[in-house]
Amino acid sequence: MKLVVLLTSLLPSVGAIHWDSQNAECSSGRAGRCEQHTPPFAAAAYWAAGLVPKACDGCEQVNGQLACDVSCSWEKQPATWRYVLNNLRLAVEAAAPEYRSTLGSEVHDQLLALHSFVGELGSGVQTWLQNWQLASASVRELLEFLRPWLLPDAYRPGLPLLVPSNNHGLRFPTPTGRSVQVPTEGDIGARVVLANGVAMPLLGLGVAGLSTDDAVAYQSVRWALEIGYRHIDTAEGYGNEREVGRALRDSGVPRQEIFLVTKLSQFTGDAAAARRTFETQLRYLQVEYVDLYMLHHPGKDVTERMAIWRELEALHDEGRIRALGVSNFGIDLLEELFSWATVKPVYVQNKFTIYQPGDVNEALKEDSLMEWLTAHRVVMTGFSVINPTHWSGYYLEPLSDPHVTAIAGRVGRSPSQVLHRWLLQLGAAVIPRSTKRERILENAQVFDFALSEAEMRVLSGLASLAASSPGRRSPAWCEDVYGLARLTLD
């Protein structure tokens, strides 16, 4: 094998991590009850590498831009290669010492060099554009070289990872880091009480992207209500409020039993126009009030937000909106809104995945949005929990991640159910969408099992595998469940 040498400095071989500290805590009993896990690091490394299109390796830079297929993204590549290399290094370091020694120090050095190189490239687009071809090609070459060594029949693991089951590994939603107590008796109508006293079902049906053709949205809502859903989430911008309204009417379910959510998607600073839009939405939905109404996005600026929010506060005071919320807001925008709003938002709806838990680039931030929401008694609802395509920042696909499928096999559930249950136990609500009755039913079957705190911990740690580089472990609010702090260049 001839690998490209990326760093000229001599890099020492890293000793085995073997989860020494954590395993010692478990063995001594100081960590309380622990579970044995064997994370599929090697499988995850090869899986993630296979998601980055090889066509991207041959793109050219033209006027500071990648002249290649639209599927090639500089933001997604370094983040995904970090996931590859963190998993690959952990697979190597978790091998039995005598087996790991068969690789020799040269391979260790190359792996450390690549890891550091990709970590440095991820800091900016220009740095990445100038070096990404070398990084991608070198990582793929190393993966191919290590493939025979990491094959399941050949690979000899060292000690398993002992995972404490005393908390889920994140600083929220409780000071102890323990999961929220979510029902396990099958009650899909389980509710959370918002800060203003309004009760909201934790499970809802989202209808974003559900076409109005052939009554797709209509049928999905009818199925959901038949199964027992009582929380429906739509928006002006989805273009299907008429179909949702017809489904609500035809279902025969009393209006007071349904928690109906919609959003103001298109707005300027014209408060009168916002009120007219709201009136139209009520007409389409065939209701006299909505349970939750939110800004679908932050809008242009604070002047625009303030004008519209004041009108929403008036509608709230008139009893036509029971609770106010926002969507696609981070901490800075929420702090600004809280500083002047008379009626505070009690709800935030953002994309929430195991890699980006709550906001854009959340895993790279010092402060957690969920911590902020908990402190201010604001309920999070996560959308696109299983969908990798919506500004995820990664090529990674949660449903097929080997770490997720391993937990799913362990608890006898689908990956989708595991991911939604994980989020519920973090204290958030979920609004999965589907056009298939069997999937709508599957998504509802998240209240008859529970993930252990150790299983939660393993899943919560995936954000750190996606965001960390040597000497820089992220997120700061996630415990180091996989021992990444030991993967340094020192």
Query: Which active-site residues does the annotation give?
Result: 238
Sheet holding 205-206, edge to edge: 205-206, 231-233, 259-264, 292-295, 324-327, 347-351, 379-383, 429-430
- Computed over its alpha carbons, how large is the radius of gyration of the chain? 24
Q: What's the CA gap between 286 and 290, in Å, rounded?
A: 10
Q: What's the CA gap between 438 and 422, in Å, rounded?
A: 21
Alpha helices (H) in 122-254, listed in sequence order: 125-150, 216-227, 241-251
What lies within 8 Å, CB to CB, of 238 at 6+ separation is 207, 208, 209, 210, 217, 265
Q: What's the CA gap between 180 and 426, in Å, rounded?
A: 6
Smallest CA-to-CA distance from 313 within 324, 304, 303, 305 is with 324
Torsion of Cα atoms, 119 then 122 then 127 then 132, to 10°: 80
Alpha helices (H) in 97-205, listed in sequence order: 97-100, 105-121, 125-150
φ/ψ of 192, rounded to 5, equals -120, 145
> How distant, in Å, are the alpha carbons of 7, 107, 123, 395 from that of 132?
15, 21, 12, 16
> Which amino acid is it at 122?
G
> Which tokens in the block code for residue 227?
């199964």
Q: What's the CA gap between 258 and 236, in Å, rounded?
A: 19
